[in-house]
Amino acid sequence: MKNVVISGTGLFTPPHVITNEELVASFNAYADLQNAQHAAAIAAGERAAIPHSSVEFIEKASGIRQRYVLEKTGVLDPTRMKPRFAPRPDEALSLMAEIAVDAGRQAIAAAGLEPGEIDAVLCAAANMQRAYPAMACEIQAALGCGGYGFDMNVACSSATFALQEAVNAVKNGSATRVLIVNPEITSAHLEWRDRDCHFIFGDVCTALVVEAEDTARSAERWRVRGTKLVTQYSNHIRNNAGFINRCEDTDPDARDKTFMQEGRKVFKEVVPMAAEHIERHLHTLGLEPTTVRRFWLHQANLGMNQLVIKKLVGADLSGTQGHDLAPIILSEYANTASAGSIIAFHKHRGGIRPGEVGVICSFGAGYSIGSVVVERL
């Protein structure tokens, strides 16, 4: 069976930053407006007042200090509280495809390839801009890639699940070189009006090129030693937006049509699942967690990553040594859904010597967990 490598990566970072200070000021203004509008109902005990948010609350709950977004004026408008995107005609490149093309070109160039040498495109993200045609087909055409393309959604594990699909496609000969793109426009499905989650997400797009080791031309290659996926159904992270909504005569702006989670339950259930999953995967390859040079983990919550690493190797992620073992990018990027672990891999894979091993791992809604063990060549 042929060896498969990751030969190139790309990262599109949006131009706009929302700091925690800006976000809190906007949310608190929204809360004041709502509380004033519904003052009588609140006084009568018929409605709860919306409490203020704070920078201290956000950083303690998540470790997030800012996030990048494609559009910030709509998000920070207390009378709107969502991005303001201009509609595009069908003939124009869609917004999701636009950021995927940017990251995709970077990854293809990093692999030393031309777009025409790519013969499969996988668009893997936590949400798609439309039902059809597939985003991957539009991205494939815009880049000038050949072969085939399809979309896939496994929420925050979409990228790692796509990596397994890409690796298998190369191994079985259905594709020669696969481009994976993860265009995450999470600002469009985050509920910015909910204090418990208004700070969680940011926008971004990552990209990876996967191909056979013996034909890869890139100077930097990462052999995929193994992939392992698992899902376990849970309602604790959910978004009910979908094409059936219009037939149910429900409010398209209802709370359940955007991101919802029971955060404490997710933390309690997913952390041990993720740690056990990684350990089992490493054992199937004859490896121990303590022999792993670096972990590129899903970037949802600083506390989750700290506990996963502590369970695996007993290490503390505070300080320079901890960052070297399991880099944290969520303080800058926030939770970027499936792209988080790939951002960490893209930005923090230096200093690893040939023969050393790392783990890319995601965990999120589904529940879903995906791990990819890679070796620096």
Cβ contacts of 319 within 8 Å, gap of 6 or more: none
Cα 123 from Cα 152, distance rounded (Å): 6
142 vs 95: CA distance, rounded Å: 12
Clarify whether 156 is annotated catalytic: yes
- Determine contact, residues 81/30, Cβ cutoff 8 Å: yes
Compute the distance between CA of residue 94 and CA of residue 99 in angstroms, rounded to an integer.
Answer: 9
Distance between CA atoms of 35 and 27, rounded to whole angstroms? 12
Q: What's the distance, CA 184 to chain centroid? A: 6
Query: Helices in the chain by DSSP H: which ranges?
Result: 20-37, 39-43, 55-62, 73-76, 95-110, 135-143, 158-172, 245-248, 263-284, 302-313, 319-325, 330-333, 340-347
Token digits for 326? 């399991």
Question: How many CA atoms within 13 Å lie on the side-chain side of 281?
Answer: 25
> What angle do helix axes 135-143 and 95-110 make, rounded to 10 degrees?
50
Determine the Cα–Cα distance for residues 10 and 104; give it in Å rounded to an integer.
6
Q: Which of 123, 145, 156, 205 is catalytic?
A: 156
Rounded Cα–Cα distance for residues 276 and 254 (Å): 37
Q: At what angle do helices 263-284 and 302-313 cross, to 10 degrees?
A: 40
Q: Which residues pair with 17 in a beta bridge?
A: 68
Rounded alpha-carbon distances, angstroms, from residue 357 to 212, 227, 286: 19, 13, 12
Sign for the CA dihedral angle at 39, 193, 83, 250 comes to negative
Residue pair 200/259 in contact (Cβ under 8 Å)? The answer is yes
- Point out the residues that are catalytic: 156
